[in-house]
Amino acid sequence: MSILDFKPEAWTVSANDALKISLVSENAVQFSPSFTYPIYGDAEQIFGYKDLVIHLVFDSVTFKPFVNVKFSDKLKEDAEDVIGKLLKFLPEGDVIVKDEEKWVDAFQEEQKQFSFPSDDYKVSQYNKNGDEFVVYKQNITNHFCKKLHRRVQIFVLLFIEAASYIDENDQNWEIFWLFNKATKQCIGFVTTYKYWKYLGAEQFDQSKELKYRAKISQFIVFPPYQHEGHGSILYNTIVDLWLKDNNLLEVTVEDPNEMFDDLRDRNDLERLEREKFFDTVPDNKIIDEQWIEDQRKKHKLEKRQFSRLIEMILLHRKS
């Protein structure tokens, strides 16, 4: 040991740098998380190792998880239990730790059995750069959905700030899955929630079907597939499906970050332009509140988002 080894910094590493996530197909694609504080604490630092690398690996079809850890030196007494902390957020009994050969055998066997949900759950299909992609929607209580969701849910902690796990026993959760049809790779997923809306006793007695507001809660396109337009297509697929539903009153989004706000604004504006809404926005300095409210309801948008869009349309008109 050198004198430098007595300094705590010598044994402290950034958890965001140490954790390496990989999606494995024929090749492995490795990337770093945006956040690790839910797993390794607010400071996102790990104590007790030198040259620490924590490998969190998934096969890109079934997402069977594998965890391994490498380091050049470790403090015997004080080193954090880096694997134990990670395992708390992964499905119990499903993760293979350290034994890579066992993991390869396990996911290859699972891949042989793997099949998509039936066409009853299919929402849409599209072609992008010569590949076919397919979107399914399933309730969280569905077996396929629950199993895959338990494996991928850690991505919301690693990539969405302030995200937490959803209650898989609450039947109001529905998940949209995006897959590459030929390779069967899962490209991304979106958790969504339905809030049933009580419109008063009279309407409740008259209408047989309940009205609801729908929320996009957690929206993820896995890093290797980002910036290819999948996020926009998936967002539009979900919104189009909801807009067609007569029982849906409003589309909402939970705590969108800047990236998602951009994606949402761009796609909402494109939709409103296609629907020839731009020309109907009055030129008056103060727009009649009732007009805004009527239009907002017609387009099933929430207040904050609709105001932003009107503002952008007016700015665009001035420029």
Interface with ligand ACO includes 68 (CB under 6 A)?
A: no
Q: Calculate the CA 25 to chain-centre distance.
A: 21
- Residue 270 touching ligand ACO (CB under 6 A): no
Kindly report the number of other CB atoms within 10 A of residue 37's CB atom. Answer: 15
| Position among 259, 270, 275, 293 found at the interface with ligand ACO (CB under 6 A) | 259
Determine the Cα–Cα distance for residues 209 and 162; give it in Å rounded to an integer: 34
Q: Can residue 299 be called a binding residue for ligand ACO (CB under 6 A)?
A: no
Compute the least distance from the CB of residue 101 to ligand ACO, in Å.
32
The partner residues of 191 in beta bridges, in order of sequence, read: 175, 218
- The alpha carbon dihedral of 294, 200, 216, 15 has a sign of positive
DSSP 117: P
Site string for ligand ACO, 140-179 (x = CB under 6 A): -------------------xx-------------------
- Bridge-based pairing of strands 12-14 and 45-47 is antiparallel
Residue 231 found at the interface with ligand ACO (CB under 6 A): yes
Among residues 89, 126, 144, 260, the one that binds ligand ACO under rule CB under 6 A: 260
Say if CB 161 and CB 142 are below 8 A apart: no
Minimum CB separation of residue 35 from ligand ACO in Å reads 10
Taking CA 140 as the corner, what is the angle to CA 200 and CA 193, rounded to the nearest 5 degrees?
A: 35
Closer residue to ligand ACO, CB minimum distance, 52 or 264:
264
What is the amino acid identity at position 292? I
- CA dist 27 and 254 (Å) reads 34
Q: Is there binding between residue 31 and ligand ACO (CB under 6 A)?
A: no
Stretch that binds ligand ACO, among 44-52, 138-146, 255-263, 302-310 (CB under 6 A): 255-263
d(CA 36, CA 174): 26
Which position among 110, 168, 228, 254 bears the catalytic label?
254
CB nearer to ligand ACO: pick between 40 and 159: 159
Question: Interface residues with ligand ACO (CB under 6 A)?
Answer: 159-160, 216, 218-221, 226-232, 253-254, 256-257, 259-260, 262-263
Residues annotated catalytic, as ranges:
254
